[in-house]
Structure 1
C-alpha cells in the first residue's frame, strides 16, 4: 500500500462533532451521579434526622447538661447537689 491509498482524515468539523458527543456523555453522567447521591445519601440522611428528632426532647437534654454543670450562667436546680 502506498501513502496515496490512505484516506485523508476528516478534520473539518471534528471538534464540534466530538464536543457534542462528550457534552452529552458528561451531562448524562452528571445527572446520574447527582440522582444516585440524592437517593442513596440524601434521603437516608434526611430519614436519620427525622428519626432522631421524633424522640429528641430538648428540655430533657438541657436539664441533663445543667445538672452536669456544663453551663456557667445557669445554676443547677436546688436540692440536686
Structure 2
C-alpha cells in the first residue's frame, strides 16, 4: 500500500451517524429551552399570582364594583 494514498471517505451509515448527533443536540437544546422558560417565565408568574391572591379581598372588590354600578341585580 502506498503511504501517500488517501483513505476512502465513510459512506455507509453516514446519514444515520449524522442524524444521531443532531437528534441528541436537538434534545439538549429543547431541555435548555424548557428549563429557561420554567425558571424565567413560569415560576415568577406563579409567584405574582400567589402574592395577588394572598392579599386579595373579594368582598372589598365586590363592594367597589357594586358602588360603580357594574352589577344591576345587586344593590
Q: CA deviation at 1:10?
A: 1.9
| Structure 1 outlier segments of 4+, above 6 Å | none
Q: Normalising by the residue count of structure 1, what TM-score does the alignment of the two structures yield?
A: 0.80
Q: CA deviation at 1:7?
A: 4.8
Aligned Cα root-mean-square deviation (Å): 1.4
Structure 1, unaligned stretches of length 5 or more? 76-81
Which residue of structure 2 lines up, in the alignment, with residue 29 of structure 1?
Answer: 29
Structure 2, unaligned stretches of length 5 or more? none
Within 2, Cα distance between the matches of 1:31 and 1:39? 12
